[in-house]
Chain A
Amino acid sequence: MKQLFPVPHVIGFVSSLLLSLIALVVVKFDLTFASGMTILGVTALVQAGLQLFLFMHVGENEDKRSLMTNIAYALFVGLVTIFGTLFAMLWGYNMI
């Protein structure tokens, strides 16, 4: 029975739901901008970790080099997209 029941997946699924509920607090309660963003940021990071380790099994990969290359590339594209967008659409928009 132990082999048939995917414990880590169920833990992952339940905690994903839980994290989404916590994020909902930001909408439902009247929080300051800073505390709202902190809650969203922290829950998003934990959520990303859950996805990577429990569902995508990054810990089980033996080829560390291609794993690291992949994560580095993903971080590069993600950060460039987010900060590039902020730079182009907000910060750099009002500069002369």
Chain B
Amino acid sequence: MKWDEFFVTGEPMIYAAMVSIVLVSVAIVGSLTYFKKWGYLWRNWLTTVDHKKIGVMYIIAALLMLFRGGVDALLMRAQTAVPENGLLDGQHYNEIFTTHGIIMILFMAMPFIIGLMNVVIPLQIGARDVAFPRLNAVSFWLFFFGAMLLNLSFVIGGSPDAGWSAYFPLASTEFSPTVGNNYYSLSLQIAGIGTLMTGINFLVTILKMRAPGMTLMKMPMFTWSILITSVIIIFAFPVLTVALALMMLDRQFGTQFFAMQNGGMDMLWANLFWVWGHPEVYIVILPAFGIYSEIISTFARKNLYGYKSMVVSMVAISLLSFLVWVHHFYTMGHGVMVNSVFSITTMAIAVPTGVKIFNWLFTLRKGKISFTSPMLYALAFIPIFTIGGVTGVMLAMASADYQYHNTMFLVAHFHYVLIPGTVFAVIAGYHYWFPKVFGFRLNEKLAKWAFWFIAISFNVTFFPLFILGLNGMTRRMYTYSASTGYGPLNMLSMVGAVGLTIGFLLLVYNIYWSTRYAKRDTTGDPWDGRSLEWSTPSPVPEYNFAKTPVVTKLDAFWFSKKENTSLTEGEYEPIHMPNNNGQPFIMGVAFFFFGFFMVFSWWIPAIIAGLVVLGAMAYRTFEKDHGHHIPVDEIERTEKALRGEQS
């Protein structure tokens, strides 16, 4: 292999990216050394098993990936803003829409949600950490190094370029000869293992570690949504694992699973991909439903309308989500029977989703609504998401789908579902739970400015795509001639994309502004919340709850405030906590090198890195680490410092 095949060459933008990567790395290493922060970084973050810190790291990584994916999106919109544009060539455009999709779904939406659930779930159920804290750290580092491996691809070796769905035969070595799709199979595999472990971890946490008295039907709705999400993760991700392994075998070991000859079946990839891919949509949307339920009931000052029907509809969605995958490739040429069956199951999902929409509306009815920034996102979500849902039902009709399939109409539809559904939700949740983690609220004025920029620009960006799609513009085309008439609406969409950028920059500027100037919250309950996380002081101490709360009903904390009763009783007892450990991080690094060597089929180094991974697991098997106890007097001191004298 020559050097110019190893590094991506010939693109001024890529050279600029290489230079900036080197400069940023030097700056980070330099400032860590100068300010003597290496020890702090290692002890407090890289080795942590604290669910709150792991959650924060997930969210920081997700925000960084949001900007990486956002730059991809801006480049795409800029390229298509005018006809016959020469900003990007076809190959570069292919790589950009591919990485945009992968990053936004798997390295932005997923970690943002997993970050929020890490921060919130143990607090909401009155637990001191997740069931397997060390495994949780392993999950994070596998996600992180999987994401880094994929991001490396655009300077070393070339990015995947066959779309985020990587359909065969296009993704085979015959049509995608670069190592790009090797990056795809290996980085998603590594991150996917991490996600699978998160699913198991949170299922066990929610089933086994709830505070005394909190039966399943007394759990906050966000916890319910994460329980269902964990179940879907556990059953859907193994399919991705298998599909990616088959892809790797096909591309690097000469098997013929997805080949067009020798008994292979190219569309089997599409089939397996969507068997995972459709449940994946619900993995990112159900937590969003949970977040909105929390926010709407908090800021309407009412309990959630139709709690039981919310739970039943989520369980129904979790089962139905496994029954609809074929609607992603109606046009493959199945018989009428297949398309009819999957049409009906797809439309059936609209029923439980509709139940949830009406429950939120009835929760708002006659509520005392306060228009805080999280609430604004929740209120904007309802109408915008409904547009996305209704166009989804249009796409669900198999015969009509022959018209819409792979047009910009589809692109507009899934952005109308995923952005108000997932992105608005995680931003709303991030504003809502920010004071719990850091002890101060983000500035409301800046947050509202960001909200209006994002909400309006979102519609300006994506509504024109519905019309473009109906006019016949297909997705993934890197340019078009002026005579098609696609120019003006694409330009409008570009304007919206700039507005979205301003909105997201305001969002990040708000972190800086609020860190410096925002008033510190001393109550621990700045929004007048309903669930247990608001009964802890902010920022939350390492052990979460000094005494385990006892729950008797739904929204127990709300009623304890109203009735002036205490959720805890008894004396402080020593608290048993897990020890920090550097092994998950080291294992992540080993996985990263394993993946990287595998991408280039450098077998000997790959085997060595793989042995390090196995060695780490073997070491863990024989390791005896029983954690530590926090003594009573230290708990008393911490509680006094955080809550003042009254506790």
Contacts and interface: CB of A to CB of B under 8 A. Distances in A.
Partners in one complex: yes
A70 B334 CA distance: 32
Interface stretch (B97-105, B318-326, B591-599): B318-326
A55 interface: no
A76 B267 contact: no
Contacts of A76: 319, 322
Contact of A88 (B207, B236, B338): B338
Contacts of A94: 335
**Which has the most chain A C-beta neighbours within 10 Å: B239, B322, B341?**
B322
Nearest to B324: A84
Interface in A48-62: none
Contacts, number: 50
Interface string B323-366: 10110000001111110011000000000000000000000000
A66 interface: yes
Interface residues of A, number: 17
A77 B276 CA distance: 11
Nearest to B279: A77
**Which has the most chain A C-beta neighbours within 10 Å: B239, B319, B336, B338?**
B338
A77 B232 CA distance: 10
A95 interface: yes
A92 B335 contact: yes
Contacts of B341: 87, 92
A85 interface: yes
B322 A77 contact: yes
A38 interface: no
A55 B325 CA distance: 32
Main SS at interface, chain A: helix
A74 B234 CA distance: 9
B323 A87 contact: no
B335 A89 contact: no
B549 to A, nearest CB: 23
Interface in A29-83: 66, 73-74, 76-77, 80-81
Contacts of B231: 73
B60 interface: no
Contact of B271 (A66, A73, A89): A89
B336 A88 contact: no
A73 B279 CA distance: 14
Given A66-B207, A95-B336, A89 B275 contact: no
A66 B216 CA distance: 12
Contacts of A66: 207
B268 interface: yes
B319 A88 contact: no
A96 B336 contact: yes
B323 A92 contact: no
Contacts of B268: 85, 89
A93 interface: yes
A76 B321 CA distance: 12
A95 B337 contact: yes
B235 interface: yes
Interface string B251-272: 0000000000000010110011
Contacts of A73: 231, 235
Contacts of A84: 275, 323, 325-326
Interface string B225-241: 00000010001100100
A36 to B, nearest CB: 15
Given A89-B267, A89-B271, A80 B334 contact: no
Contacts of B272: 85
A80 to B, nearest CB: 5
B323 A80 contact: yes
Contacts of A85: 268, 271-272, 275
Nearest to B236: A77
B114 to A, nearest CB: 21
Given A77-B322, A80-B323, A89-B265, A95 B271 contact: no
Contacts of B325: 84
Contacts of B265: 89
A93 B333 CA distance: 7
A27 B333 CA distance: 34
B260 to A, nearest CB: 14
B338 A81 contact: no
A80 B335 contact: no
B275 A87 contact: no
Contacts of A96: 335-336
A93 B275 CA distance: 17
A74 B271 contact: no
A93 B235 contact: no
30 contacts: A74-B235, A76-B322, A77-B236, A77-B322, A80-B322, A80-B323, A81-B239, A81-B275, A81-B322, A84-B275, A85-B268, A85-B275, A87-B338, A87-B341, A88-B271, A88-B334, A88-B338, A89-B268, A92-B335, A92-B337, A92-B338, A92-B341, A93-B333, A93-B334, A93-B335, A93-B338, A94-B335, A95-B335, A95-B336, A96-B336
Interface of A: 66, 73-74, 76-77, 80-81, 84-85, 87-89, 92-96
Given A84-B325, A85-B272, 9 more contacts: A66-B207, A80-B323, A81-B239, A81-B275, A84-B323, A84-B326, A88-B271, A89-B271, A92-B338
Closest A-B pairs by Cβ, 4 of them = A95-B335, A92-B338, A77-B235, A92-B335
